[in-house]
Structure 1
Amino acid sequence: MPITSAEQPPPPDRAPHRLRETAESFGADAERYDRARPRYPDALVGRITGAAPGPDVLDVGCGTGIAARQFQAAGRTVLGVEPDARMAEVARRLGTPVDIAAFEGWDPAGRTFDAVVAGQSWHWIEPAAGTAKAARVLRPGGVLALFWNAFQFPAEVAEGVVAACRRAVPDAPFDFRAMTKGPLDGVRALLAEPVRTIRAAAEFHEPEEWRWEWEWTYTRDAWLDQMPTQGAFTRLPADRLARVLEETGAVIDAGGGSFTMRYTTVAVTATRTGTG
Structure 2
Amino acid sequence: MAFPMQAGPGENGVDLPSTARMHDYWLGGSHHTEGDRAFADHLAMVGPLIPYLVRTQRALLRRIVRYLLGQGVRQFVDIGSGLPTCGQVHEVAEGSDPPARVLYVDNDPEVAADGEDLLAGNDNAAFLALDFREPDRVLSDPAATRLLDPQQPVALLALAALQMIPDSDDPAGVVAGYLRAMCPGSYLALTHSGPDPQLAYACEMFDQMKFGPRHALYLRDPVAVQLFFTGLELVPPGIVPLPLWHPDPERDPTLQNPGQVPVHVGVGRKPGFVD
TM-score range, shorter chain: 0.5 to 0.7
- Between the aligned partners of 2:138 and 2:266, the Cα distance in structure 1 is 24
Asked if the contact 2:164–2:215 (Cα under 8 Å) also holds between the matched residues in 1, the reply is no
Overall identity of the aligned pairs, in %: 14
Asked if the contact 1:143–1:270 (Cα under 8 Å) also holds between the matched residues in 2, the reply is yes
CA positional deviation for 1:115: 0.7
Aligned mate of 1:47, from 67, 70, 81 = 67
> Residue 68 of structure 1 corresponds to which residue in structure 2?
89
CA positional deviation for 1:190: 5.6
Structure 1 or 2: larger strand share? 1
* TM-score of the pair, normalised by structure 1: 0.54
- Between the aligned partners of 2:63 and 2:193, the Cα distance in structure 1 is 14
Matched, 1:165 2:206: yes
CA positional deviation for 1:271: 0.6
Asked if the contact 2:234–2:268 (Cα under 8 Å) also holds between the matched residues in 1, the reply is yes
What is the identity, as a one-letter code, of the residue corresponding to 1:86? E
CA positional deviation for 1:108: 1.1
Q: Tell me: higher relative CO, structure 1 or 2? Use CA pairs within 8 A at least 6 residues apart.
A: 1
CA positional deviation for 1:91: 1.8
Asked if the contact 1:127–1:193 (Cα under 8 Å) also holds between the matched residues in 2, the reply is no
Asked if the contact 2:69–2:93 (Cα under 8 Å) also holds between the matched residues in 1, the reply is no
CA positional deviation for 1:123: 1.9
Residues 172, 34 of structure 1: CA spacing in aligned structure 2 closer, same or farther, 3 A cutoff? closer
Aligned mate of 1:131, from 175, 182, 202 = 175
Segments of structure 1 that go 5 or more residues without pairing to the other structure are: 1-15, 176-185, 217-261
> Residue 132 of structure 2 corresponds to which residue in structure 1?
103
Matched, 1:212 2:243: yes
- Between the aligned partners of 1:194 and 1:92, the Cα distance in structure 2 is 32
CA positional deviation for 1:70: 4.3
Aligned mate of 2:25, from 35, 42, 46 = 35
The alignment yields a C-alpha RMSD, in angstroms, of 4.4
Deviations 1:64-100 (A, max 9, x none): 1243344434533211111111111122222251122
Aligned length: 197
> Equivalences for 1:16-27 in 2 at 5 Å?
22=8
* TM-score of the pair, normalised by structure 2: 0.54
CA positional deviation for 1:63: 1.5
Segments of structure 2 that go 5 or more residues without pairing to the other structure are: 28-53, 120-124, 245-251, 255-259
Residues 20, 34 of structure 1: CA spacing in aligned structure 2 closer, same or farther, 3 A cutoff? closer
Please tell me whether Structure 1 or Structure 2 has the larger radius of gyration of its CA atoms: 1
- Between the aligned partners of 2:202 and 2:269, the Cα distance in structure 1 is 40
CA positional deviation for 1:45: 3.0
Residues 136, 21 of structure 1: CA spacing in aligned structure 2 closer, same or farther, 3 A cutoff? farther
Aligned mate of 2:226, from 176, 179, 195 = 195
Matched, 1:121 2:161: yes
Deviations 1:79-130 (A, max 9, x none): 1111111111122222251122112223412543521112221223441222
Deviations 1:205-236 (A, max 9, x none): 347324316657xxxxxxxxxxxxxxxxxxxx
